[in-house]
Amino acid sequence: MISQSEMPLAVLGAARLVPLVTIERLDHAVPLAQALVEGGLPVMEVALRTPAAAQAIGEIQRHVPHAVPIAGNVLTPHDLSIAAHAGAPMAVSPVATSALLEAAAHGSLPFMPGVATPSELMLAVTQGFHVVKFFPAMAFGGPEALRAMYAPFPHVRFVPTGGTREAELDAWFALPNVAAVGGSWLAPIDEVRRGDWGAIRDRARAVVARLPK
């Protein structure tokens, strides 16, 4: 049986990049997911900060078989419940509050809390979470911060997001404690709003082709 600490890695699978997407219109959900899957980025984080987000996760699950739409921006136990009812395969948060960690630890939905400091990380680890979002990654030290985290926390894996760019991918992936990197730059909101699925697909393909081996 996979433990709670290992579940996020099982959901992420071989994914090394996780686009953070904001879906304002439900009819954008399926073509956006299709563009990302065709570009080689099947795992995507759908932010639960629009009225369409939860339903969009369900639409993607039904109509884009290879897509893995995890629920992002989960801030409260109620948000966690919304993610579960939407059918999300995993929930992700930018924070690690005691209430949220306790609710996630007692639930069955794979969960990745967000941390920015060693103290926040310890709070997550003591609740059994060993795969975490590092947020906001660039504001809190970028790759060098996670390089420093490795010695005291060698068993923790991070998914940095927040200010990440393609330019730092080599630096992130050179670290042994980075499981994947997330970023909204992979599916910019302006391209989503105008339905420029080709641009999103082509960028994804180009970035995947340049990933360090």
Catalogue the active-site residues.
45, 133
148 alpha carbon, distance to own chain's centre: 22
Which backbone phi and psi does 135 adopt, to 5 degrees?
A: -145, 140
Given a contact cutoff of 8 angstroms between Cβ atoms, the answer to whether 141 and 162 are in contact is: no
Positive or negative: CA dihedral 146, 147, 149, 155: positive
| Tokens standing for residue 118 | 């060693």
Name the DSSP letter for residue 26.
Answer: G
Neighbours of 14 (CB within 10 A): 7
3-state secondary structure of 121: helix
Q: Render the burial of 148-186: b for 16+ CB within 10 Å, e for the rest.
A: ebeeebeebbbbbbbbbebebbebbbebebbbbbbbbeb
